Amino acid sequence: MKALAAIIGIGITKFGEHWNKGIKELLAEAQLKALEDSGISEKDIQQIYVANMCADSLSGQLHLGSIASQILGINVPSYRVEAACASGGVAINAAINALRHKDIVLVSGVEKMTDVDTAKVTTALMGAGNEEWEEFHGATFPALYALMANAYMHEFGFAEEKFREILSKIAVKNHKHASKNPFAQFPREITLQQANNASIVAYPLRLFDCSPISDGAAALVLCKPELAKKFCDNPVYVVASAVATDTLALAERESLTSLKATRLAANDALNQAGISIKDINVFEVHDCFTIAELIAMEDLGIAERGKASKLIEEEQTYYDASIPINPSGGLKAFGHAVGATGIKQAVELTKQLRNEAYCQVENAEFALSHNVGGSGGTAAVHIYARRLL
């Protein structure tokens, strides 16, 4: 097994409503924590990738590369990466590619979403969809995933009430995980009844099916794997980094109930690592909506098509069960600070592989993160290893 990079430092802010912090403060907190965790000096950072989706539409701010390097008082090349909600995963992929030429690279992600009202955020997020053929026709992001959910329910013959319970169980599980995580936006449990009866956002999706609007930032210090032991005793290795794309609009895809970009990126990643999906001990998947977690389980190969609900009903995806999914709380309950989400997944999985997680999965050797842009126009899959076998 060949490592592509080593994670030698992690930093993250709490996700949630940070009224007193802007883009710069959030990014600074995550970046400085990551540097402190790695023990290296800011002067050792040779390049920066900063992931962000909405700074221009919500804060009137572009040019985040400059902000990210200014925070550290350095003048290195610094790039903003945007791939909607997959910005973070794609930035990690770009940073790993940069390690061919650089020794140490910082990758960070930030989103500041709570300065404006919900309709404005909904509009900004639809930038991840097709403006001319989806947003123009009244679609919202919840509506796109609702269309997938309704198509899924129909294709696999679920009664509506039964399907409602399955989606709710995913939310209940992710809130249970978040309840132990002080960095989560909603560190509290919810009941099945609350989820079942919450207000409708876009039929059949209700409030607790949807990830929240969040502020937050996360950062990683990556280095060439052969240098890792020089800087720290417990590096986590990235052994696969894959990105795949598909059509921007949902309607133009082959299927409404499966994301081709996820399937392609997952296959690529598992091939790079030379392992099977069954070898993965812990997952952070892109549950922007509960239905997205269900579909991701099938597209990643955890469950067969149409069968993922069985694992949910048997409660097999809790952190202390056989297939731990989203022990951080997921996007649903940890929060979804869009540009930071892909980086946050890597931070949380690094904690798992260092035995520092709040919902710690025992004896995990391999971890997988799955980050989706829009309704499936981009997917990034990374695999992490505790040690190189």
Partner 1 sequence: MFRSSVPLRWRRYAERYRLIGNKCKKCGNVHYPKVEICEKCGSKELEEYKLKPYGKLLSFSEVYSPTEEFSAYAPYCVGIIQLEEGPKILAMIADVKKEDLKIGMKLKACFRKLYKDGNNGVIHYGLKFTPYF
- The set of catalytic residues is 85, 336
Nearer to partner 1, 342 or 377 (CB): 377
| Shortest spacing between CB 263 and partner 1, in angstroms | 18
Nearer to partner 1, 131 or 320 (CB): 131
Q: Starting at the earlier edge strand, list the strands of the sheet with 104-111.
A: 78-81, 47-51, 104-111, 216-223, 5-12, 236-245, 378-385, 366-373, 282-284
CB 215 within 8 A of CB 21: yes
| Shortest spacing between CB 152 and partner 1, in angstroms | 9
Nearer to partner 1, 61 or 97 (CB): 61
Angle between the 260-273 and 290-299 helix axes, to the nearest 10 degrees?
50
| Shortest spacing between CB 139 and partner 1, in angstroms | 6
| Shortest spacing between CB 157 and partner 1, in angstroms | 11
Nearer to partner 1, 92 or 213 (CB): 213
| Shortest spacing between CB 90 and partner 1, in angstroms | 23
CB 51 within 8 A of CB 111: no
Report how far apart, in Å, the C-alpha atoms of 52 and of each of 28, 246, 273, 330 are: 14, 20, 28, 19
CB 322 within 8 A of CB 286: no
Q: What are phi and psi of 202, to 5 degrees?
A: -150, 115
Which has the closest alpha carbon to 131: 339, 340, 377? Answer: 377
Positive or negative, the Cα torsion across 243, 28, 79, 59? positive
Q: What are phi and psi of 316, to 5 degrees?
A: -85, -10
Nearer to partner 1, 45 or 126 (CB): 126
Question: Going by C-beta distance under 8 Å and a sequence separation of 6 or more, which residues neighbour residue 161?
Answer: none
Residues that bind partner 1 (CB under 8 A): 118-120, 122-123, 126, 131-140, 142-143, 146-148, 150-151, 154, 199-205, 249-252, 256
